[in-house]
Amino acid sequence: MLVILIQRLSLVNPIWIFSKVFFKPFAIIYNNMYDFRSDFYREKKLSDSSKEMIQKIKDDLVCLNGPFSGMYFCEPESRCSTFIPKLLGCYEKELTKVINKSKKKKYTSVVNIGCAEGYYAVGFARLLKNTRIFAFDIDKRSRYLCQKMSKKNNVLIDIGGFCDRQKLINLPLGLKALIFMDCEGYENVLVDKKLAKQFLNHDFLIESHDLYQTSTTKNLLKAFSSTHEVTIISSVDDIEKAYQYKIPQLKGFSLEEKFICLAEDRGCTMKWIYAESKVKI
């Protein structure tokens, strides 16, 4: 009965507004505790030598491999994602070809909507020296970490909070931009055929959150169908990562230990939509 009462109360707008204001901070605290506790007990399963290696990697706070190799983190913290894969440089390794391709694109700007602690915003700023970087996140802690991380890596990033359609349209993007979205389903609000036409010269890389709205990938494909060349990139299963990925720092680790270190804990197979402009600049 209590569960039913709580469910019914959630439909009453004043109660829902109050609940979001009052309970959300506790939910954030709980999620941070849960993530830390989960990581702690998973890493306890590592052998002593493997624990020592992982601890050294955490202490150094440097991205060791991949396109962002050499990038410094400012805190041992990754917002809403696993941290060790970022330090190892294999986080979302599925996107490596697209990231490397960006070096040849001569982008005038990169927009990162949902920047978290700054992994991609700072990574692109280091990779694309003469490119203006815009980063947005609604989470205050994420913006703080992104700012701190940008200073540690001596790069300049324009950091903002909520990025709606109008703010995106008004950005001084220059001739050709890469708009990189990881905004937990908000891509369904931001992206449609009209936006695709307005951003005819620009490329998009969007994490498609079908787990929140099943038709997300379908909607994005429809939006870009007449203006962009679209490639769908699928995520690699965590167990498959343990078999496939050859990470120098994990040499000698057992298959189970590799799984612990490489897991990104996705709720399902994710997709990214890489939409390249058909306009030649």
pLDDT, tens only, 120-147? 999 999 999 999 999 999 999 999 999 9
pLDDT, tens only, 158-211? 999 999 999 999 999 999 999 999 998 999 999 999 999 999 999 999 999 998
Contacts of 101 (CB under 8 A, 6+ apart): none
pLDDT, tens only, 208-257? 999 889 999 999 999 999 999 999 999 999 999 999 999 999 999 999 99
Identify whether the C-beta of residue 160 lies closer than 8 Å to the C-beta of residue 185: no
Q: How far is residue 278's CA from residue 281's CA, in Å, rounded to a whole number?
A: 9
- Residue 81's pLDDT band, with cuts at 50, 70 and 90, is confident
Question: Which domains, and CATH codes, for the chain?
Answer: 2-44 (no CATH), 60-277 (3.40.50.150)
Task: Report, in this order, helix, strand and coil percent for the chain, each rounded to 5.
Answer: 50, 15, 40
Identify whether the C-beta of residue 106 lies closer than 8 Å to the C-beta of residue 83: no
Angle at 115 between CA 41 and CA 80, to 5 degrees: 20
Identify whether the C-beta of residue 131 lies closer than 8 Å to the C-beta of residue 109: yes
Rounded to two decimals, what is the model's pTM?
0.87
pLDDT at 46: 80
pLDDT at 262: 95
What average pLDDT does the segment 16-44 reach?
Answer: 64
Contacts of 31 (CB under 8 A, 6+ apart): none
Mean predicted lDDT score pLDDT of the chain: 90
